[in-house]
A and B are shown apart, each in its own frame.
Chain A
Amino acid sequence: MSQYNAPLRDMHFVMKELAGLEQVVQLPGYEEVDTDLSDAILEEASKFAGNVLSPINFSGDQEGSKWHNKAVTVPAGFKEAYTQFAENGWTALACSPEFGGQGLPKLISTAVNEMWKSANMAFSLCPMLTTGAIEALMTAGSDALKQKFLPKMVSGEWTGTMNLTEPSAGSDLAAVRTRAEPQGDGSYKIFGQKIFITYGDHNMTENIVHLVLARLPNAPEGVKGISLFVVPKFMVKDDGSLGERNDAYCVSIEHKLGIHASPTAVMAFGDHGGAVGYLVGEENRGLEYMFIMMNAARFAVGMEGVALAERAYQQAVWYAKDRIQGTELGVRGGPKVSILKHPDVRRLLMSMRSQTEAARALAYVVAAAMDAAKHHPDEAVRAANQAFADLMIPVVKGHSTEMSIEVASEGVQVHGGMGFIEETGAAQHLRDARITAIYEGTTAIQANDLIGRKMAREGGATIKAVIAEMRKLDAKLAAQNGADFVAIRKRFAAGVDALEQAANWIVAIFKDDIKAAHAGSVPFLRLLGIVAGGWQMARAALVAQEKIAGGDSDPFYAAKIVTARFFADHQLTKAQGLTDSIVDGATGTLALAEELF
Chain B
Amino acid sequence: MSNNRNKKNKTKLQQNRENMDVEKLRKARKNASGKEEKAKIKAAQKEAKAKVKEREKKHKAQLKEKKLALREQKAQAKENALTQLKLVEEKKIEAAASEESKAGDYTVADTEIEKASDESVICCYCFENEAEPGRDYCKDCGNALLRTKIPVSGWVAALIAIIFSFCGLVTMGLLSAASLQVFKGDYFMSKDNFTMAFNAYDEVSSVLADVNSGFSENSVFNVLLQTGSNFGMKAMNCAAKIYGPLDAGESFDANIFSSAGAIEFKEHSRRYKKFKSYTDDFESTVKALDPVLAKLNEKAGDSLLSLDDLDAAIPEFETYIGKKDVNEVYLYYTICVLAEEWCAADNDQLYKYMQLVDKAAEKSDDDYSWLYYKNLISMLMSQKKYDEATKYIMDLMNKDRSEDYSRMQLCRILVSRGKIDEAQAIVDEFLNNNFEDDHFTEDGYALQIYLERVKGNYENAIHLATDAGNYFTNYPEVRRQLALVYLYQGYYEEAFATAFSASNDASYLSSYYAITDFDGVLIDTTLYIATHYAQDLIDEDSENYEDLQYAITTFNTEEYVPEYAKQITEGKFDLKKVLSEGMCDFI
Physical interaction between A and B: no
Chain B residues with a Cβ under 8 A of chain A: none
